[in-house]
C-alpha cells in the first residue's frame, strides 16, 4: 500500500549521506530552488487561468484514493502563515518529487473530495522543518486551481513508521501532514511527526480571506519546544 510506503520509506528518503554533507546538499538545494521557481510560475499561470471550483465537480466523483494526477504534476501550494511555510505541492511521494517541494501521498484523498483525508508529505530538513513549532489553531491554506481550502490545526503527535491509521478516512474533511521525527535525528528516523487539521466551514474560512499568506514568522528553538507538545503514540 502506497500510504504505508511513504511512512516507512521516509527513513531512507530523508537520510543525508556523506556525499550530501560534503557538498551534494548544496547542489540539491540549488536544484530545488530552480524547480521551485519554475513550479511557482506554472502554478501562478494555472491559478490565473482557472475558474474557482471549475473542475471540482468532476473530481468529487472520484474515490478518495483514486489517483487523478500524474506523478510530479502540480497540485497546488501549501501555506502555514504563522510559520512562514510556503511550498509547492506535487502529486506523489517519490524522492524526486520531495526534492521539489511537498508531495500528495498516493492513496489519500484529493482536497476536492468532501469528507476525505488529504495526506501530504515533506522533508523534515527542508519544507516541513518549521512544523516543530506548530500550534493548535494554526491556519493552513491549500491553494489549487480548483479552489482554496483552509484548515485549522487540531493536533500533532508522533507515531511509528508503520502506522498508517493516521491516513485513513474519518468521514470528515481533514488534512494530514507527515514528516520524519525526530527533526534533528542523524540517520534513519524511527518515527513520524503527524499534524492533522480540520477543514474550515466556508463562513469561517471567509473570515480569514484578508490574511497575508506567508507572512508569519518562523519560531526559534529546539524541537522539544513544539507548542502542541506532541505526544508519542
Q: What is the pLDDT of residue 137?
A: 97
C-alpha to C-alpha distance for 14 and 16, rounded to whole angstroms: 6
Whole-model pTM: value is 0.76
Q: What is the pLDDT of residue 216?
A: 39
Q: Which three cell numbers stand for residue 93?
A: 511521494
C-alpha to C-alpha distance for 84 and 23, rounded to whole angstroms: 27
* % the chain with pLDDT above 90: 48
Q: Spell out the domains of the chain, with CATH numbers in brackets.
A: 2-232 (2.40.260.10)
3-state secondary structure of 204: helix
3-state secondary structure of 6: helix
pLDDT tens, position by position, 85-96: 999 999 999 999
Instruction: Please choose, from the candidates 186, 175, 222, the residue with its C-alpha nearest in 3D space to the C-alpha of residue 80.
Output: 175
Average pLDDT, the chain: 78
476525505: which residue's cell? Answer: 116
C-alpha to C-alpha distance for 161 and 166, rounded to whole angstroms: 11
Range of 39-43, 47-51, 193-197, 214-218 with top mean pLDDT: 193-197
C-alpha to C-alpha distance for 79 and 58, rounded to whole angstroms: 25
Confidence of residue 83 (pLDDT cuts 50, 70, 90): very high
Confidence of residue 45 (pLDDT cuts 50, 70, 90): confident
C-alpha to C-alpha distance for 150 and 127, rounded to whole angstroms: 19
The dihedral over CA atoms of 186, 187, 188, 193, expressed in degrees to the nearest 10, equals 10
In DSSP terms, 143 is beta-bridged to 77, 148
Output the CA–CA distances (angstroms, integers) from residue 209 to 149, 202, 213, in the order listed.
11, 11, 10
Confidence of residue 126 (pLDDT cuts 50, 70, 90): very high
Over its C-alpha atoms, the chain yields an Rg (Å, rounded) of 17
pLDDT at 13 over 60: no
Amino acid at each position: 500500500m502506497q500510504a504505508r510506503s511513504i511512512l516507512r520509506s521516509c527513513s531512507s528518503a530523508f537520510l543525508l549521506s556523506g556525499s550530501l554533507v560534503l557538498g551534494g546538499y548544496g547542489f540539491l538545494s540549488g536544484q530545488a530552488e530552480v524547480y521551485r521557481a519554475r513550479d511557482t510560475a506554472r502554478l501562478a499561470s494555472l491559478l490565473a487561468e482557472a475558474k474557482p471550483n471549475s473542475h471540482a465537480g468532476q473530481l468529487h466523483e472520484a474515490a478518495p484514493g483514486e489517483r487523478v494526477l500524474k506523478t510530479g504534476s502540480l497540485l497546488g501550494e501549501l501555506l502555514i502563515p504563522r510559520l512562514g511555510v510556503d511550498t509547492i505541492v506535487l502529486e506523489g511521494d517519490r524522492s524526486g518529487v520531495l526534492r521539489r517541494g511537498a508531495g500528495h501521498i498516493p492513496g489519500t484523498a484529493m482536497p476536492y473530495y468532501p469528507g476525505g483525508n488529504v495526506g501530504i508529505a515533506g522533508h523534515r530538513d527542508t519544507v516541513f522543518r518549521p512544523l516543530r513549532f506548530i500550534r493548535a489553531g494554526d491556519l493552513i491554506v491549500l491553494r489549487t486551481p480548483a479552489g482554496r481550502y483552509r484548515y485549522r490545526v487540531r493536533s500533532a503527535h508522533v507515531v511509528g513508521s508503520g502506522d498508517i491509521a493516521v491516513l485513513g478516512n474519518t468521514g470528515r474533511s481533514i488534512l494530514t501532514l507527515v514528516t520524519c521525527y525526530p527533526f534533528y535525528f542523524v540517520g534513519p528516523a524511527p518515527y513520524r511527526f503527524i499534524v492533522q487539521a480540520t477543514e474550515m466551514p466556508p463562513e469561517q474560512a471567509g473570515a480569514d480571506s484578508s490574511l497575508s499568506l506567508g507572512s508569519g514568522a518562523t519560531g526559534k528553538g529546539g524541537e522539544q519546544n513544539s507548542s502542541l507538545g506532541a505526544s508519542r503514540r
